[in-house]
Amino acid sequence: MTLAGKRIVLIISGGIAAYKSLDLIRRLRERGASIRPIMTRGAQEFITQLAVGALSASHVYTELFSREDEQDVGHIRLARDCDLIVIAPATADLMAKMANGHADDLASTVLLATDRPVLVAPAMNPKMWAHPATQRNVSTLKADGINLVGPMAGEMAESGENGLGRMTEPLDIVAAVERLLDDAPKPLAGKTAIVTSGPTHEPIDPVRYIANRSSGRQGHAIAAALARLGADVTLVSGPVTLPDPTGVKTVHVERAEEMRDAVISRLPADIAVMVAAVADWRTVAPADQKIKKQPGEAPAPLRLTENPDILKTVGHHKYRPKIVVGFAAETQNVEDNGRTKLERKGADLIVANDVSPETGIMGGTRNSVKLITKTGVETWPDLSKDEVADRLAQLIAGRLNGG
């Protein structure tokens, strides 16, 4: 219940993504938040007051000049009696009104009258988003201290066009809300962290590559957990299908050499957590053209060469971070291999896990790890990857702060 007791005013404006705000209401309430919804006229063309009212278990506010609503809560109390105002979806029109201080309906008036933080989740056609007028308004809103989440790139629901303009998915909006309302201590404030995540892809030719089963779930969760504790996190991610975690700078790479360069160029840092399943080998010379199958001929052998060892490079670098954590994915002798890795790579801590297929860890959502340090081994119970991430982030914070 990360949002227990938090009071959120949710403004829904008239975009096609309004249907997603129904799910957003559910997700926010699941986490303990109470919702007071405001719908613009436009929003009511896309979803009904009935659905919004039922899901939020609240009266739905729509009119500025409503005698009952003014007597009951009133627009000034609506604007102030909350911890956060979220606008999802935020239309180009509503953002323009906000940027220019208009107050000609309930939503815009509440937004002008509020002294509470505001989170905007824009959703519009890519051309509307890219328009200089919208971009001017975005700059103004940012300068006014308004928080933005998204938009995302992808296919538009109604036109099928591709580009920047999709509303951020409800769960990612929830994560942004949690970050804004998070009043937990920030033991990693002022610290910088580099996290690697996912697999690497080593090309064979323009269409084929060598890869592994890493999903990036654990690395991404660790990046997000360190950020929640206040660290300034750069996530260097191999090819994954996960969204970039919120509150983290994500750099996308494909090959191990690119990952090494991205990591090294970001040193010095206070913390390095090398979670990526970096391919040990790459092809000596990837072909420029697709290698054709020749009937009757045996396949050409793949000539491999060793990839850079990123953890070892970081562990022995002149700008070595104060805490270097490595991951060891093993299918046998987990503890012994982890201990050897700790020494060879110059790490302070190895998180070793058994990734034999029957464990379901690689690519799955749970993890069962052993923490190997110079002084001993600690076995953690079976946990979700998010829980492993939170525990590890706390442990790093404790060590960095002298614990």
Distance, in Å, from the CA atom of 12 to the CA atom of 107, rounded to the nearest integer, reads 9
Distance, in Å, from the CA atom of 357 to the CA atom of 334, rounded to the nearest integer, reads 14
Could you tell me the two tokens for 383? Answer: 């946990």
Indicate whether 231 belongs to the interface with ligand FMN (CB under 6 A): no
Neighbours of 304 (CB within 10 A): 14
CB of 103 to ligand FMN, least distance (A): 12
Query: Is the bond leading into 89 cis (omega within 30 degrees of zero)?
Result: yes
Rg of the chain's alpha carbons, rounded to an integer? 25
Name which of 43 and 342 has its Cβ closer to ligand FMN.
43
Residue of 11, 28, 35, 43 that binds ligand FMN (CB under 6 A): 43
Residue of 40, 197, 215, 237 that binds ligand FMN (CB under 6 A): 40
Name which of 43 and 231 has its Cβ closer to ligand FMN.
43
- The answer to whether 249 is annotated as binding is no
Residue nearest to ligand FMN (CB): 42
- The answer to whether 112 is annotated as binding is no
Q: Is 212 a catalytic residue?
A: yes
CB of 90 to ligand FMN, least distance (A): 8
Selected range binding ligand FMN among 11-19, 137-145, 175-183, 307-315, rule: CB under 6 A: 11-19
Residues 6+ apart with CB under 8 A from 350: 325, 326, 327, 328, 338, 339, 341, 342, 371, 372, 373
Selected range binding ligand FMN among 7-15, 23-31, 178-186, 206-214, rule: CB under 6 A: 7-15
Q: Which of 194, 172, 176 is nearest to 242 (CA)?
A: 172
Alpha carbon separation from 78 to 47, 69, 145, 279 (Å, rounded)? 22, 10, 20, 54
**Catalytic-role residue among 100, 125, 137, 212:** 212
- The answer to whether 310 is annotated as binding is yes
Q: Are strands 232-237 and 249-252 parallel, antiparallel or unpaired?
A: parallel
Name which of 159 and 365 has its Cβ closer to ligand FMN.
159
Name which of 58 and 125 has its Cβ closer to ligand FMN.
125
For residue 48, what is the DSSP state?
-
Report, as residue numbers or ranges, the catalytic residues: 212
Q: Which residues bind ligand FMN (CB under 6 A)?
A: 13-17, 40-43, 91-94, 123-124, 128, 158
Please state the residue numbers annotated as binding site for CTP. Answer: 280, 290, 308-311, 327, 341, 345
